[in-house]
Amino acid sequence: MQGRFAFGAEMEIERWRAALAPLAAGVVPGKPRTPIGQLVKSMISGRTRDEVSLEAYRQLGRRFGSVGRLAAAERREVQAAIRDVTFAEDKAAHLLETLRRIGRERHGYKLDFLGEVPLDDALAWLERFPGVGRKVAASTLNASTLARPVFIVDSHVLRILRRLGFVSGTAEAQAASEAVTAAMPHWSGADFLWFHVACKRLGQTLCRPEAPHCDACPLFADCRRRANRLTSA
């Protein structure tokens, strides 16, 4: 993404960030977790409401007390602790395999080194593990104490970027994350995290999968879905 296109994308995103400010007022990301803690939280969060995945994460902490004990647990124990998240059986299996592999490679499960290597290398290192796609990898790097400048794209954010036409209607999370990250090279990790939270809030409240509230959306003027609907009316 270079030249005029890159500049145009940057201007669009800055305009969207300003438009989303009232909607996201008072929505503040919580205290950042360690990278390994954020990895665990992200791995059990997919397709699950925030309050459910957060309680499951806390339950893991209450039951096992440390990452080492969690990694040594039986799968049925982990599945029971996260039973309310979607696909709990698969997530428990992926989580245990990933933690055990990390434990063999990194003493004490410390992932601080991911803050020092090139961003693409850090993402690739994480994405080797089962259950770790771009959303989980980006969340581990950005929403943790590492605060790396990479954009987190979940299903809500991807839907919005598609409807805005910033990415194609068939684009996946990795392509969307790369596009936004590349468009905003001057943004800090905190900037990317705020924009993620704001877009997610929009997707949860107004830009929903079905029956979106287009007339109340602060980004309605740029929404291709709405424009197409009006054109075909």
pLDDT tens-digit series, residues 110-123: 999 999 999 999 99
Q: How many C-beta neighbours within 10 Å does residue 130 have? A: 13
pTM of model > 0.85: yes
Query: What is the H or E stretch that residue 196 is in?
Result: helix 189-205
Cα separation, 140 vs 112, whole angstroms? 11
Q: Which domains does the chain have, with CATH numbers?
A: 3-28+151-232 (1.10.1670.10), 35-142 (1.10.340.30)
Over residues 11-70, the pLDDT tens digits come to 999 999 999 999 888 877 789 999 999 999 999 999 999 999 999 999 999 999 999 999
